[in-house]
């Protein structure tokens, strides 16, 4: 999905996560070029430009400054960059249309929605999400799939609320996770830490739509699903490191981390030490 005709990038990273494709690009090449960017994509420019030239759908060229943190919703328009004066850095976020339709349906909106075309504007929420996805690309997905899945849902809801052109706001569910349901969910998480615990899977157990799950979970537990699950995995890992002779890689697998390096990084972040040093200190 790399833009057509774009100059050589010093940095180009791309990842496909559940429901979204994320690209990070940085280049110091300047001057004239033609780069057609993917439709139905959200672009966030991280580096300022004194002067850029661009055109839309074959129209006349426009010359403007580019402020840092400018957001672009390309929608179904063909957006072409043709000149820049300085270094460029940007993040592109492309949501799966099926995910957007699902979130729209779950929030009582028409599932036939299209994000409006809009460029060169500020949106702190989109900027924050872009920075978080950029960090995940740079660190190799350290926070895990549950984190990126949560970010993707937040982005989808934000776009529907603010840029879908629909006047009706998503309806909110409140108090769906009662005491019994919350206990069943916590038990499910505890029993399945080694599995790929997705928002979809946990929402099904809780009998809550994916659209509402993260909000309801945080209201009931005081923290996000991603943070709670990671915390439980670290606590289980501590126990296994203390009372078993399983290797660090085996512990990582049993508590649901994708590999030993991912586990070690998360364990150090949570405890200030590595799994091996933790075991040696006992």
Give the pLDDT of residue 23: 95
Phi-psi region of 84 (alpha: psi -120 to 50; beta: other; left: phi over 0): beta
What local confidence, expressed as pLDDT, does residue 114 receive?
Answer: 82
Residue 166 has a pLDDT of: 60
Provide CATH code, domain 179-280.
Answer: 1.10.10.60
Q: Where are the domains of the chain?
A: 11-163, 179-280
- Model pTM score: 0.79
pLDDT block averages, 10 residues each, the chain of length 282: 48 92 91 88 94 93 93 94 90 92 77 84 95 94 88 91 68 62 90 90 85 84 91 96 94 92 93 95 90
The third-level CATH classification (topology) of the domain covering 11-163 is Jelly Rolls (2.60.120)
């Amino acid at each position: 999905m790399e833009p057509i005709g774009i100059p050589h990038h010093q940095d180009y990273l791309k990842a496909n996560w559940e429901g979204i494709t994320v690209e990070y690009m940085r280049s110091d090449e300047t001057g004239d070029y033609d780069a057609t960017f993917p439709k139905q994509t959200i672009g966030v420019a991280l580096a300022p430009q004194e002067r850029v030239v661009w055109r839309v759908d074959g129209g006349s060229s426009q010359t403007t400054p580019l402020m840092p943190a400018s957001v672009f919703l390309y929608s179904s328009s063909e957006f072409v960059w043709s000149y820049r004066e300085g270094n460029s850095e940007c993040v592109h976020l492309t949501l799966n249309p099926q995910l957007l339709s699902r979130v729209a349906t779950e929030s009582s909106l028409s599932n036939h929605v299209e994000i409006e075309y809009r460029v060169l504007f500020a949106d702190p929420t989109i900027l924050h999400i872009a920075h978080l996805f950029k960090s995940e690309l740079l660190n190799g997905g350290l926070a895990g799939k549950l984190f990126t899945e949560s970010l993707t849902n937040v982005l989808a809801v934000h776009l529907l609320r603010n840029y879908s052109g629909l006047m009706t706001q998503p309806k909110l569910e409140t108090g769906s996770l009662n005491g019994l349901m919350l206990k069943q969910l916590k038990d499910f998480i505890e029993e399945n830490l080694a599995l790929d615990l997705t928002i979809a899977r946990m929402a099904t157990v809780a009998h809550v739509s994916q659209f509402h799950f993260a909000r309801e979970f945080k209201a009931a537990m005081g923290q996000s699903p991603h943070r709670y699950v990671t915390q439980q995995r670290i606590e289980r890992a501590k126990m296994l490191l203390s009372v078993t002779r399983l290797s660090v890689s085996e512990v990582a697998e049993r508590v649901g981390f994708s590999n030993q390096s991912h586990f070690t990084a998360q364990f150090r972040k949570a405890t200030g030490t590595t799994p091996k040093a933790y075991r040696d200190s006992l």
